[in-house]
């Protein structure tokens, strides 16, 4: 680990001013960042500790929306009664993330900015990884690709995004509120992450020095009837192989509106809009869900050598979520 300057901010404007220093980076829970420091993934000039920004700790469940401060801890959001009642996919995604100890430390803003778990990105000894060392190549292209993306990858990077709750946020059309040197702005969740293209080192559309202040999720019938299914290689304390966040708004037994997002399959949470459209107006049955998943929803999937199984696994995860939401036989 290399030396760095440590500064603690007490409000957002001070945090933004400190973040203007060369090589400055924010630290919240530190559960990701400390690993990066030890592994040499980042070498910051200054660490700007934002844990003194108490305004960012609030979880506001006013009617019409859920506003989660960027410093709210994952465990607090997961246990919040209104989140569990009105946004169950958000609570379920959080409960299935990491461990209780990590969730107690880890912030919601930091969760969105965690980086890929691709073994080549996290390798102890340097290996080609364009995300970690731009221009060095991608070892996964010829190496182990069981965990790689099936959607949205490029010849520069095949890594997946690891956050669970980001998948629920994508399905529920969340908005990320940020403040930066140029002022405040709102980023629709679909625009928050970027695909790798030839610039895989940039995971998000955040601009230099920008601070996430909150994540807002609109209240809706879809959010209230939502589920998160996570499939992983061991039952606990493991990242998703594949996951699905599904929300359904019903008019009697007919689907008025459906939302489906997948995790573990792409460099960002992946919305299945084709399947969502195919479900509108259909009876809420397993057969209708299966038919929607076969209606071109996976036509953009490009499985690699060892991860073709993710196509079927993702479909099964969506069906399981639908069954949990009451889909008929
Ligand atoms: C062993 C282990 C298992 C895990 N398992 C899972 C899992 O199953 N599912 C899952 O979803 N996650 C998992 N995680 C990831 C975990 O959720 C993240 O480490 C955590 O959420 C990061 O939050 P933090 O507050 O600790 O961020 P930090 O480590 O403090 O920061 C992470 C990044 O976010 C930036 N940052 C933090 N807050 C802000 C802000 N408000 N504005 C701008 N930038 C900010 C920092 O500069 C840094 O770049 C796991 C982590 C570990 C270590």
Q: Which atom of ligand 1 is nearest to the CA of 98?
A: 5
Q: How far is the CA of 297 from the centre of ligand 1 (A)?
A: 31
Q: How far is the CA of 30 from the centre of ligand 1 (A)?
A: 7
Same domain, 138 and 42: no
Q: Which protein residues are within 6 Å of ligand 1, measured from CB?
A: 25-33, 50, 70, 97-98, 102, 105-107, 109-111, 113-114, 162-164, 211-212, 239
The CA-atom distances, in angstroms, between 134 and each of 130, 141, 160 are 4, 15, 17
pLDDT at 153: 98
Q: How far is the CA of 75 from the centre of ligand 1 (A)?
A: 13
Tell me the residue range of the domain where 48 lies: 1-52
Encode the chain (329 residues) as per-residue pLDDT tens digits. 789 999 999 999 999 999 999 999 999 999 999 999 999 999 999 999 999 999 999 999 999 999 999 999 999 999 999 999 999 999 999 999 999 999 999 999 999 999 999 999 999 988 999 999 999 999 999 999 999 999 999 999 999 999 999 999 999 999 999 999 999 999 999 999 999 999 999 999 999 999 999 999 999 999 999 999 999 999 999 999 999 999 999 999 999 999 999 999 999 999 999 999 999 999 999 999 999 999 999 999 999 999 999 999 999 999 999 999 999 98
CATH number at residue 220: 3.30.465.10
Same domain, 45 and 59: no
Same domain, 42 and 152: no
Same domain, 315 and 198: yes
Same domain, 121 and 16: no
- Closest residue by Cα to atom 47, ligand 1, is 26
pLDDT at 2: 83
Q: How confident is the model over 261-314, as pLDDT tens digits? A: 999 999 999 999 999 999 999 999 999 999 999 999 999 999 999 999 999 999
Q: How confident is the model over 139-168, as pLDDT tens digits? A: 999 999 999 999 999 999 999 999 999 999
> 309-324 vs 286-293: helix axis angle to the nearest 10?
150
Under 8 Å between Cβ of 24 and 45: yes
Helix (H) or strand (E) holding 309: helix 309-324
Same domain, 195 and 217: yes
Q: Which atom of ligand 1 is nearest to the CA of 34?
A: 29
Same domain, 264 and 329: yes
Q: Which atom of ligand 1 is nearest to the CA of 42?
A: 49
**In 3D, which of 175, 256, 170, 260 has the Cα closest to residue 221?**
256
Same domain, 63 and 177: yes
Q: Which atom of ligand 1 is nearest to the CA of 230?
A: 8
Query: Which positions ≥6 away from 246 have C-beta within 8 Å?
Result: 89, 171, 226, 227, 229, 258, 259, 260, 318, 321, 322, 325
CATH number at residue 11: 3.30.43.10
Same domain, 293 and 219: yes
Same domain, 41 and 183: no
Answering whether pTM is above 0.75, one says: yes
- Closest residue by Cα to atom 52, ligand 1, is 98
Q: How far is the CA of 160 from the centre of ligand 1 (A)?
A: 15
Q: How far apart are the first and last CA of the chain?
A: 56
pLDDT at 125: 87
Domains in the chain, number: 2
Same domain, 33 and 125: no
Give the pair of three-digit tokens for residue 314: 């993702």
In angstroms, rounded to a whole number, what is the distance separating the alpha carbons of residues 38 and 36? 5
Mutate to test the pocket of ligand 1, among 110, 162, 170, 268 (most ligand atoms within 8 A of CB): 110
């Amino acid at each position: 680990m290399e030396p760095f300057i440590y500064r603690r901010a007490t409000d957002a404007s001070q945090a933004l001013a400190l973040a203007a220093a060369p090589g400055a980076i924010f630290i919240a829970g530190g559960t990701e960042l400390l690993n990066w420091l030890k592994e040499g993934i980042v070498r910051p000039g200054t660490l700007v500790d934002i844990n003194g920004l108490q305004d960012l700790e609030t979880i506001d469940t006013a009617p019409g929306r859920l506003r989660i401060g960027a410093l709210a801890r994952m465990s607090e959001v997961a246990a919040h009664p209104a989140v569990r009642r009105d946004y169950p996919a958000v609570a379920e995604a959080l409960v299935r993330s990491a461990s209780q100890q990590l969730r107690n430390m880890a912030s919601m803003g930091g969760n969105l900015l965690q980086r890929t778990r691709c073994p080549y990105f996290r390798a102890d000894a340097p290996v080609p990884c364009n995300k970690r060392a731009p221009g060095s190549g991608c070892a996964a292209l010829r190496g182990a690709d069981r965990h790689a993306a099936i959607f949205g990858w490029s010849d520069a990077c095949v890594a997946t995004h690891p956050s669970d709750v980001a998948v629920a946020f994508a399905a529920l059309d969340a908005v990320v509120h940020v403040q930066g040197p140029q002022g405040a702005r709102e980023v629709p969740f679909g625009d928050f992450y970027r695909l790798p293209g030839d610039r895989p080192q940039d995971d998000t559309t955040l601009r230099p020095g920008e601070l996430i202040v909150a994540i807002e999720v609109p209240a809706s019938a879809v959010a209230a009837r939502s589920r998160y299914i996570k499939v992983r290689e061991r039952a606990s304390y493991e990242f998703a192989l594949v996951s699905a966040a599904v929300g359904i708004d019903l008019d009697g037994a007919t689907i008025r509106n459906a939302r489906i997002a997948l995790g573990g399959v792409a460099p960002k949470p992946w919305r299945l809009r084709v399947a969502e459209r195919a479900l509108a107006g259909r009876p809420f049955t397993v057969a209708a869900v299966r038919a929607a998943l076969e209606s071109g929803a996976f036509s953009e999937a490009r499985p690699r050598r060892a991860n073709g199984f993710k196509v079927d696994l993702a479909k099964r995860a969506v069906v399981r979520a639908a069954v949990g939401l009451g889909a008929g036989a």
